[in-house]
Chains A and B, each alone.
Chain A
């Protein structure tokens, strides 16, 4: 089991204090920079490892940095604190983005990122809670994180805890039926402390979601399952911040975050082949150039 990097965790908590005292535009500017830093680090990690899901990582990056940078009530030095907020990455193949964000928060030393996917590394291709602090449940097979998030939110409600639970879902992942079982349960139990974030980039591994198995009208589906739906640009940090505000209706909240797969690198954006392609050295250099602007 990895352990916290106290210095880095201290810097992260200082960032959170600064963010709390900033207006939303300042927060968004900081989060945008955080996102670009995460993408560059993730790119380097995937290059070293020779594998990863770079398109999915870049799609979800702004969602993750917004949650970790300004929303989640967490302390990386106490990753199992009873009343922490929970973030469950149901689309576990975006582990790369999650690992970089967790390391930036100080859950474990950033030097560990160099081991990603290597022999005996704690940083498996999909996240493992028994090895990586900050990971709440082991995901990878799709359709697993959402029911677990429902259980965590229900436990908080039963315990009278103010803890909030967020679950980040891929859009293609919503083709798994277990998600809709969980959506019904959350609504039935009135889990207003639960927010499901759909990374709606429109692409799944092999093709567009709408060509593979249609999801639309997606917002209507969530509404009919008893959820409050908020639709936002998933790369607009200010809009994401607003969308992550607590529920006001007693119902669970679904944020449909409209995103672009491979966001931030022109030749990767919205291209299905970048789901898990590894950039060449030349492509990586060009990508870093774009991510540094």
Chain B
């Protein structure tokens, strides 16, 4: 299993989200979309055309957005609450905690354009804290799909799951990385390459970069196991522990702050069960400088080269 990216096309996962949502809404009239003046940025224009009464726009009011979503669920509908990830998770954090998670209602929270997808718009519009914040809330699955097929699968799962969930819906263009199309199960990862030297546990935009790193390392004789961890919470603990047992170290890679996301989840698991050398790649405890998304990912070492460097640090001179 080499995990080679054969199709070089790049996809905006928001389009897959929008298409899947329409497909699901045709089959289940309880599904409604709820947004905060984000009809365009959430790619809901076509949904509105087909289901004008089922697109609820509360205007620029995120606390209301999430509360109304919880109320729609109380009233027997299945709300897909969609807004730019920084505002959905930042402004409405307490509503997500109290009205959705603690109240345990079936609301699908979709954070659009997460990470540093809004590049030049700056840290106000970046959503790098969302994984830390959402992971801290009990009973809330946190899902970061890596490509269009996985985005569709995650949305299907969330709409069928009688409880709350948070999905990141990516904007930064990515290739298709999952070999057999998309599947999603909470607490299950997908291993994309074999490898017993090192493992990288990656999510979202970082998965294709991890595959590129694996290809580069293969050329120098290092076998990197790439694990696509779309389910940040619950984590696929079995796959992580196996990676720690079967390789010489674990790298995590996410487009998020390193304070509490995927890396922190993996580190907490390994520290208590199978300590292993680790490198946690993400955005350090700092606000990003000005630049587009590609520049910022490079600036923070969230690239194939960044993963290769981390791998070389972990391997040291011991293996070579």
Contacts and interface: CB of A to CB of B under 8 A. Distances in A.
A150 B95 CA distance: 14
Contact of B76 (A82, A129, A181): A82
A95 to B, nearest CB: 14
B70 A137 contact: yes
A265 B79 CA distance: 45
Contacts of A143: 63
User: 8 closest Cβ contacts across the A-B interface?
Assistant: A151-B71, A155-B75, A147-B67, A181-B64, A181-B61, A151-B68, A178-B63, A148-B71
Contacts of B59: 181, 184-185, 188
Given A141-B98, A144-B94, A182 B64 contact: yes
B58 to A, nearest CB: 5
B75 A141 contact: no
Contacts of A139: 98
Interface residues of A, number: 36
Query: Is chain B's interface secondary structure helix, strand, loop, or mixed overall?
Result: helix
B95 A147 contact: yes
B102 interface: yes
Contacts of A184: 59, 61, 64
- The residue in B59, B69, B72, B73 that gathers the most chain A C-beta atoms within 10 A of its C-beta is B72
A293 interface: no
Contacts of B70: 137, 147-148, 151
Interface in A148-179: 148-156, 158-159, 161, 163, 177-178
A136 interface: yes
Contacts of B144: none
Interface size class of B (residues with CB under 8 A): 20 to 34
- The residue in B64, B73, B94, B98 that gathers the most chain A C-beta atoms within 10 A of its C-beta is B64
A22 interface: no
Contacts of B75: 86, 151-156, 158-159, 161, 163
A146 interface: yes
14 contacts: A82-B76, A130-B104, A147-B66, A147-B67, A147-B71, A149-B71, A152-B75, A154-B71, A154-B72, A158-B32, A158-B54, A163-B75, A184-B64, A189-B56
B64 A185 contact: yes
A48 B242 CA distance: 53
B58 A181 contact: yes
B53 interface: yes
A138 interface: yes
A150 B63 contact: no
A189 B58 CA distance: 9
A109 interface: no
B77 interface: yes
A226 interface: no
A10 interface: no
Interface of A: 82, 86, 128-130, 136-141, 143-144, 146-156, 158-159, 161, 163, 177-178, 181-182, 184-185, 188-189
Given A143-B63, A144-B98, A136 B74 contact: yes
B183 interface: no
B103 interface: yes
B72 A151 contact: yes
Contact of A151 (B73, B98, B102): B73
Given A130-B104, A178-B64, A184-B61, A137 B74 contact: yes
A269 B70 CA distance: 36
A128 B105 CA distance: 12
Contact of A148 (B54, B58, B68, B102): B68
A185 B54 CA distance: 15
A136 to B, nearest CB: 6
A177 B72 CA distance: 21
B99 interface: yes
Given A137-B70, A147-B68, A147-B95, A130 B103 contact: yes
A184 to B, nearest CB: 7
Given A141-B98, A159-B77, A181-B61, A129 B103 contact: yes
Contacts of A159: 75-77
B67 A146 contact: yes
A171 to B, nearest CB: 19
Given A151-B68, A151-B73, A155-B72, 8 more contacts: A130-B104, A137-B70, A139-B98, A147-B66, A148-B67, A155-B75, A155-B77, A158-B54
Nearest to B79: A151
Nearest to A136: B74
